[in-house]
Amino acid sequence: MSNASTPTAVTARPATRPRGSLAAEEVIDEAVALIRAGGLEAFSMRKLADALGVTPMTIYLRFDNKDDLLLAVAEHMLGRLDVPEVEGSWDDRVVALAVAIRSHLIDSRAVLLLLGASDGLGLAMLDATEAGLVLMEEAGFAGADAVDAFRTVFWHAVGAAMVADTIAADQIDVIRRASPAATGARLSHPLGSPPDGPLAHPRFAALIEHFTTPDADLIFERSTRALATGLARSAGRTTPAGTTTPSRRTTP
């Protein structure tokens, strides 16, 4: 009788990389790819290590912990904004910058909350911040007023990016179904009451038919233009007719 034992199948392990060959930039790029593909909730250091062909400990040689890595990922994703070069009025250039910021934040929304603090987002998007501060100084703002004016535009774009996914036709349908006015009944109480009761929200009842799915891009552009006009007026740059016309300062 043979004493030879039957060979056991060995699971192949992924190829390992040479020690010290993993650059921090490569880790960030792979993390960005994983987050874009599966979302932040599904991201893990183990998945990242497997994708890179290393052990998780190798990643920790480049980053102190997961939070440290995710902060670097957020700064990397949010920092890649191409600031638009737009010819036109001051208002036009403010709107173009705000639209670019909003679009970029929507694309990078998976990591947006990782840099939720004002200075965190602003520092991660220094090109946009620089362009915005230049615009505010052109309008006549200086020092802290220029910073506050830019923050007004910047956080308008941040807020619009954060709610971009909530504007959908099915939510408008929910409003219509929840409103007695949509079925011809009278809107008399938030929780519902007899159809012949007094109108508690008469303007909402009268305008419910106009609560159609909004064009979020158009609304953002219009609201940003109104915001820019108000900022320019507060900086004292208006014509007698009320048209905002900040002059474009030429850099020597």
DSSP letter, residue 54: S
Q: Give residue 37's pLDDT.
A: 86
In the predicted model, what is the mean pLDDT of the chain? 76
pLDDT by residue (tens digit) across 154-169? 999 988 988 877 665 5
The CATH number for 24-63, chosen from 1.10.3470, 3.90.1570, 1.10.12, 1.10.10, is: 1.10.10
pLDDT value at residue 199:
61
* pTM of full prediction above 0.85: no
pLDDT digits 0-9 by tens, 117-145: 445 666 668 888 999 999 999 999 999 99
Q: Is pLDDT above 80 for 60? A: yes
Confidence at 174, pLDDT banded by 50, 70, 90: low
| pLDDT above 70 as % of the chain | 67
**What is the chain's Cα-based Rg?**
27
Residue 53 above 60 pLDDT? yes
Q: Pick 99 or 75 by higher pLDDT.
A: 99
DSSP-derived 3-state class of residue 238: strand
| pLDDT value of residue 101 | 92
The pLDDT of residue 212 is 73
Q: How confident is the model at residue 198 (pLDDT cuts 50, 70, 90)?
A: low
Find out whether 123 and 80 touch, Cβ atoms under 8 Å. no
156 by DSSP, 3-state: which?
A: helix
Contact between 156 and 224 under an 8 Å Cβ cutoff? The reply is yes
Please report which confidence band the pLDDT of residue 76 belongs to, taking 50, 70 and 90 as the band edges.
confident
pLDDT, position 127: 86
Q: What is residue 85's predicted lDDT score, i.e. its pLDDT?
A: 86
Mean pLDDT of 35-61: 90
184: confidence class by pLDDT, cuts 50, 70, 90: very low
pLDDT at 147 over 60: yes
Structure-token match 């949010």, residue found: 78
Element of type H or E holding 222: helix 216-234
CA 46 to CA 244: how far, in whole Å? 55
